Amino acid sequence: MRSFEVPAFYQSPIISRIKHARKVLDPRKQDFTPSVLDFGSVQFVLARHFGFCYGVENAIEIAYKAIEENPGKRIFLLSQMIHNPEVNSDLKSRGVEFLMDTEGQVLTPITEVKSDDVVLIPAFGTTVEMEAYLVELGVDVARYNTTCPFVEKVWKRSAKLAKGSHTVIIHGKPAHEETRATFSHAKATGHALVIRDMEEAEVLSEFISGQRPMASFNAYFSGRTTEGFDPDVHLKRVGVVNQTTMLAGETQAISDRIRQAIEAREGQSNPGDFAQTRDTLCYATNDNQQATQAALQALSLDMAIVVGGYNSSNTSHLVELCEGQLPTFFIRNELEFQPDGMVNHFDWRSGLHQQTMSPWPEFGQSSVPTILITSGASCPDASVDRVMQSILSFYPNSRIVEDVLIEFEQRHALNSSATGS
């Protein structure tokens, strides 16, 4: 896979060595067992996969290239480059202006943009309408388009569904930039509907199977369908795609439920009415979720720390996986740890910030506190590095970091020799 030029300050002297040691032994990343760092007074269990993905590294490389290549020019971002506060803050510090926030609220009027300005399209992509406006304005939208290839794959899948006269059902968060962009691309070729979760999929399935009267459809899904959407017509043939950062298991369950509803439509269903599409979840999101689940199952854990932006969808789903099994703290970075032991963290369900005093376990089932650490696909490894270093400050008499890393590398080098890798 292609490597990208990511600024050194996003990289981590600790995490990079751990990932390198794992890559030597497992170059194809098939082994999802976690990495364990034993500091004596505390153990860190690191998920096998976390941090910057292909699409994020691609976006960051393009963004910093745009800054370097355009000194003195105004540079605009349509919205946040990715959902990470450190990355977006650094771009702002370098003069990049944001046109919208993550919910699409205007920060800088689009009318401010001129033809000779530089406009970056974020990793989530943008709507057909916005791209057409910029092209008409004379902006070169292709030069610094950082849209993730896996998002574009969803758009292509949607267009293929439309050619087969299927309505595109998008599993995603309606206000999310990526979902808005996917909806826009889907409606350019056919009809589309956005559903948020399994609960809404159940309601939709009841409409499809005839358990609910179509007359009440708009009461549930108003504002989530394309113009001219007729549920009596446009729910006869459907296919499911998703916002690439959703929970893989939930997307599959939603797809299965809708297929069952199609099949239950007595006397009206044909084999092609439900399009058998492959999962459109991005590979990195899928790997991160599988790696987190593997870590949760592999060892006895006392707590979990998940690092990432509070508006990051893929990160919140990692939190969701962890909090079902053990105390979990969703933090932006190490600055959420206070000197008195207070931890500021985020409740993704309520959208509220919370505080917990000294949650650090004094002992675990194995007598050594064991903490799972992972992060979202938009989180720099450097952030995770600083989080680990900060947690160590709450555990005096911990072993020296360098000694632990050498031990980890030697252990994996021995494993590599034993397997002939």
Helix (H) or strand (E) holding 38: strand 35-38
Both tokens assigned to 258 = 């809708």
Residue pair 224/167 in contact by the 8 Å Cβ criterion? no
Q: Are 238 and 191 in contact (CB under 8 A)?
A: no
Bridge-based pairing of strands 43-46 and 35-38 is antiparallel
Q: Out of 178, 266, 323, 407, pick the active-site residue.
A: 178
Question: Which residue in the block uniquely carries the two structure tokens 């401010």?
Answer: 112
Length of the chain: 421
Specify the pairing of strand 35-38 against strand 238-242: unpaired
**Tokens found for residue 166:** 């299927």
CA distance 88 to 78: 12
How far apart are the C-alpha atoms of 167 and 226, rounded to whole Å?
Answer: 10
| Residue 202 annotated to the active site | no
With H, G, I as helix, E, B as strand and everything else as coil, classify residue 77.
Answer: strand
CA distance 383 to 177: 24
Cα gap 192→356, rounded to integer Å: 43
Q: Which residues are catalytic?
A: 178
